[in-house]
Each structure stands twice: as structure tokens, then as C-alpha cells.
Amino acid sequence: MANKEEKGPVDNPEASQPHRAQSVEPAADPYSALKRELQKKERSSVEAAGLTDNQLKDVQDRLYKMIEYTVKRHDWFVDQCHRLLQIGLALIATGGAIAAIFVKFENLPRTTQSAAWLFALSLFGTGLYLVYLYNSYLSGEHPYRKVVDIHSWYFPTKPSYLKRLVAFPDKPRKWTSRAEGLNQIEKISIELAKKPGFSNLSFVILRPADLYDQFRPGYVPCAIAGDFKFRDGKIDLNVMFRTSDALAVGYADIYYMRQLQMQVLGLAMELTKNAAFKRAEVGMLNMYLCRSYIQRTRTSKSGARMDGLKAAHAVIELIRDHQNARHQSP
């Protein structure tokens, strides 16, 4: 449940990925200084234009479409690079197979053997060259990435999970409050404090309108809805996810959902003196994933590439080591 900002480039040009660790660059880095200068100029230009709310919304919608186009072009480029790698590996394998086959034929004419070896070497060499191009394309020095990072635009266009929990854009039929949206966390905490065994401690994040408003693939929130249950002195949380990038944001989803559990329990304990909460503690966190995936190759904004599968196996081993250490500790 990484807290992704809802504001776009017009609302907050300095927005970045809040759910991922922001890279800290030296103050003297010319790229960082240039990026800050460009952001200030963009904001001052928007403020100086004196646009109305409707005009700002139109500009924001246009920027969203520009971001969507840029992301698609970036994804297309990465996809072409992966295809280049696949072709290169296929050529290497084919060249090696041809060489292995002709090694077994000893009575072939020298001319045929030479032609076969030349053909195999050409395939093998072309494959190696394509693999080299793949590495150079993705790991090359691209100065524009340090000034205008596509991924810094990618997440500001997603709805904010936190805002959906404290100001969900909806209202009941009998609504007298002037508050903007529904504070679901507050409502759940109050109901939990009054009736610990209550079954209506649910919240939603997805709006049906999100399926229509999606400015790009991935705009729709990953977390759909959740429900709290307080049983046997423990508060359990069950959350449904439509999809989850296990390696990129899975850890953040676990962290923030656990924080949400502790927050709701803490607020409820402050609101009541019920004996049921004297020794209350956080219980199970159950995350139901309709789909979970790991990107085979991930590329950071600096151009560094990471093998997603190897990284996932490393994380699993660390979890197992931690679990074993806990079981072995006295």
C-alpha cells in the first residue's frame, strides 16, 4: 500500500515516488541542480499564467496523456531491447548447435565443413553482438534520465491509497459534515472501540470510476478493499489485491498494511476503556493476491539492471534464514 501521490505534475512538480527509496545525490551534482531549477521554472510559469481551475484541470489531463504516451514509448523501447536479447541468445544457441552437429561428421568435404563452420561462427558472432547491443542500450549513459525521469512521473498519476482511506470521494445519504470525503480509518476505529466483535469494519480503495479514468495502464489501485476483525484479543486485517509487483512494491504493501493495523488498533484503544483492549495486539495480516508477478529484468533510472528472479530468490532465502533464526533462538 505504498502511499502514491495523487497530485500530477501541475499540482506538484516536485512529486516523486514516495513508496520507494529516493536516491540521494550530492548537492554539487549538476544534474540535480538542473532538475530543481527546471521544476521551479515550471511551477512559476504555471502560477504566473493565472489559470482557472478548469484550465488547470485541462492542462493536467493533457499532461497525463503526455505521460501515458512517454511511458508507452519507454516500455516499447525496453520491449525491443528484450527482443534483441532473445534474438541474440537464439542465434548463439543455433550457432553452437550447428557447430556441434558438424563436428560429428568427419567424412564431409573440407569445403562443406569450412562453409558450415563459417555459418555457425557468423550466427554465434551476430548473437554475441546483439547481446552486446542489449547491454549497451540499457546500461549506457543517458543524461536525460538524471533530469527528467519517466518513473518520477509514473507514480504521481496513481491515486493515493492514504487519501482514499482518510478522504474517500463519497458521501452517505444523510450527510451534514463539511469534511471532504469519508474518513474510513476514523469510522472503523470508532466502531471497533464501541463493539470489538463488530463485522462492519471494512474499507475500500478502488472506485468504479478508476476503471474509466485510468490515464495509463497501471493507474487502477492494486489494493481493492480490506476488512478488520477483532477476535481473541487480536486485530486481524484481510486485504484483497487485484495485482501486485512482488519485488517492486510487495514489501511496501506489507509494511503499510501492517502500519494500518497498528494505527486502527491504537486509535480504538484511545477511544475506549473496554477490558477487551487491555491486552489487545496486532494479529494476522492476510493479503489475497488475484495476481502477483516479478519482472524478469528491472532497470533503474541510473541505467543499472537487475535480474528480478535472482533478486526474488535472494529475498526468499533471507526470509527463510530469518525464520530459522527465530525458531532456533531460545
C-alpha cell at 10: 501541475
Q: Is 232 left (phi over 0), alpha (psi -120 to 50) or beta?
A: left
User: Which runs of E-coded beta strand occur in the chain?
Assistant: 202-204, 223-231, 234-241, 244-245, 281-289, 292-293, 297-299, 305-307
The sign of the torsion formed by the CA atoms of 79, 25, 254, 323 equals positive
Asked which of 131, 158, 185 is the last residue of a domain, the reply is 158
Chosen domain end from 127, 158, 189: 158
Of the CA atoms within 13 Å of residue 74, those in its CB half-sphere come to 19
Q: Do residues 243 and 289 touch, judged by C-beta distance below 8 A?
A: yes
- Does the pTM of the predicted model rise above 0.75? no
Nearest to 220 by CA among 129, 160, 158: 158
The answer to whether position 319 is within a domain reads: no
Q: Are residues 104 and 191 in the same domain?
A: no
Residue 19 pLDDT:
38
Confirm if 246 and 294 have CB atoms less than 8 A apart.
yes
**Same domain assignment for residues 169 and 146:** no
- Our count of domains for the chain comes to 2
Same domain, 166 and 140: no
- 240 and 189 co-located in one domain: yes
Sign of the torsion formed by the C-alpha atoms of 35, 40, 46 and 49: negative
Query: Domain range spanning residue 30?
Result: 7-158
One-letter amino acid identity for 129? Answer: Y
Pick from 158, 174, 204: which residue ends a domain?
158
Q: Collapsing DSSP states into helix, strand and coil, what is residue 286?
A: strand
Burial (0-12, 13-18, 19+ Cβ within 10 Å), 182: buried
Q: How many CA atoms lie within 13 A of 134 on its CB side?
A: 21
Same domain (yes/no): 108, 190: no
pLDDT value of residue 138: 63
| pLDDT value for 14 | 40
Residues 139 and 169 in one domain: no
Q: What end-to-end distance do the CA atoms of the chain give, in Å?
A: 34
Per-residue pLDDT of the chain (330 residues), as tens digits, is 444 434 333 334 343 333 333 333 444 567 677 767 877 787 788 778 887 878 877 777 777 677 667 766 776 777 787 788 888 888 888 888 888 887 777 777 878 878 888 888 888 889 888 888 877 766 656 555 555 554 444 444 456 777 889 888 888 888 777 777 889 999 999 999 999 999 999 999 998 888 887 766 667 888 999 999 999 999 999 999 999 888 878 888 899 999 999 999 999 999 988 888 988 999 999 999 999 888 877 766 556 677 888 888 888 888 888 888 877 766
